């Protein structure tokens, strides 16, 4: 009985210690979280910025090993246009981007922005492949735990660049201008025959009277000439 009682007390103490250890959260057990900016609709041949946000258990971090991927057919990484990367070592190759940081503590929140130049129309994504952060040097040696990613991707819908002279809002004014010009031309064309006819009719009146007067004078001369011949 004594052995069983001692054994039971030992087992109960072990279970209690295990329960306490499991129930007490530690700073090491808390997760870092990282997210990439929202989906966007952009135009080809422009620069787009994606916010990168971090939530750290203690509110700060000083070491990070982050990798991103993107499609080079659609996007070109622009380090100069990016912001907040002064404390990061940037490695970029063939659609893969790696950012390394180790130094002074950095406040969490919006930690930096990634800039990309859009190359052509289509739909593409920028993805957080891995993210290790800590307040020590473990991230550089890949010993730090993987951070939660929310969201892990940003979708970019790239629209084609508008061609010069093809803007929609000018089409209505051009149509109205063309219609007005056509109406004026038609009106002028319709009025021209009438004007010409009126002019011709007005010109024929005097000419007719002149011809008739000339015929009458010739007739009179002819009659007088015949009478004179008879008397002779």
Whether 197 and 128 share a structural domain: no
202 and 94 in a common domain: no
- 49 assigned to some structural domain: yes
Same domain, 155 and 172: no
pLDDT of residue 24: 37
- Mean pLDDT of the residues in the chain: 77
The answer to whether residue 94 is domain-embedded is: yes
CA 74 to chain CA centroid, Å, is 13
Structural Rg of the chain based on CA atoms: 48
Q: Count how many domains the chain has.
A: 2
Are 118 and 179 part of one and the same domain?
no
Residues 139 and 38 in one domain: yes
Residue 1 is predicted with a pLDDT of 45
pLDDT at 29: 39
In a domain, 7, yes or no: no
pLDDT at 65 over 80: yes
- Residue keyed to tokens 């010109």: 203
CA dist., res. 3 & res. 222, Å (int): 174
CB under 8 Å to 135, separation ≥6 — which residues? Answer: 56, 58, 60, 61, 62, 63, 105
119-128, 153-162, 212-221: least confidently modelled range: 212-221
Identify whether the C-beta of residue 115 lies closer than 8 Å to the C-beta of residue 85. Answer: no
In this structure, the answer to whether residues 136 and 186 fall within a common structural domain is no
Question: How confident is the model at residue 223, as a pLDDT?
Answer: 66
For 175-179, which contacts have Cβ atoms below 8 Å and span 24 or more sequence positions? none
**CATH code where residue 141 lies:** 2.60.40.680
Domain stops at, among 104, 136, 159: 159
How much is the average pLDDT of 35-62?
A: 96
Shared domain check, 56 and 36: yes
pLDDT at 23 over 50: no
Q: Are residues 78 and 106 in the same domain?
A: yes
Sheet with 109-118, strands from edge to edge, namely 75-77, 109-118, 47-55, 33-36, 148-149
Characterise 154 by phi-psi region: left (phi > 0), alpha (psi -120 to 50), beta (else): beta
The dihedral built from the CA positions of residue 66, 72, 75 and 76, taken in this order, carries a sign that is positive
| Enclosing domain of residue 193 | 168-231
Same-domain check for residues 47 and 93 = yes
Question: What integer pLDDT is reported at residue 83 of this predicted model?
Answer: 98
- Regarding whether 189 and 146 lie in a shared domain, the answer is no
Q: How confident is the model at residue 17 (pLDDT cuts 50, 70, 90)?
A: very low
């Amino acid at each position: 009985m004594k052995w069983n009682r001692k054994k039971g007390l030992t087992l109960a103490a072990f279970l209690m210690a295990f329960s306490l250890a499991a129930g007490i959260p530690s700073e090491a057990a808390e997760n870092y979280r990282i997210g990439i900016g929202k989906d966007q609709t952009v135009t080809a041949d422009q620069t787009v910025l994606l916010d990168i946000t971090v939530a750290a258990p203690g509110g700060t971090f000083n070491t990070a090993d982050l990798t991103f991927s993107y499609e080079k057919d659609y996007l070109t990484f622009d380090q100069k246009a990016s912001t907040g990367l002064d404390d990061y070592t940037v490695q970029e190759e063939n659609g893969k981007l790696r950012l390394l940081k180790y130094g002074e503590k950095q406040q969490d929140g919006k930690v930096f922005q990634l800039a990309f130049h859009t190359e052509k129309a289509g739909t593409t994504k920028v993805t957080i492949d891995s993210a290790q952060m800590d307040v020590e040097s473990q991230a550089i040696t890949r010993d730090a735990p993987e951070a939660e990613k929310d969201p892990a991707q940003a979708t970019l819908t790239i629209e084609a660049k508008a061609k010069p002279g093809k803007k929609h809002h000018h089409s209505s004014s051009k149509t109205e201008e063309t219609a007005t010009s056509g109406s004026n031309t038609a009106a002028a064309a319709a009025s021209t025959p009438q004007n010409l006819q009126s002019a011709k009719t007005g010109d024929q009146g005097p000419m007719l009277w002149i011809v008739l007067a000339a015929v009458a004078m010739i007739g009179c001369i002819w009659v007088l000439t015949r009478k004179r011949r008879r008397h002779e």
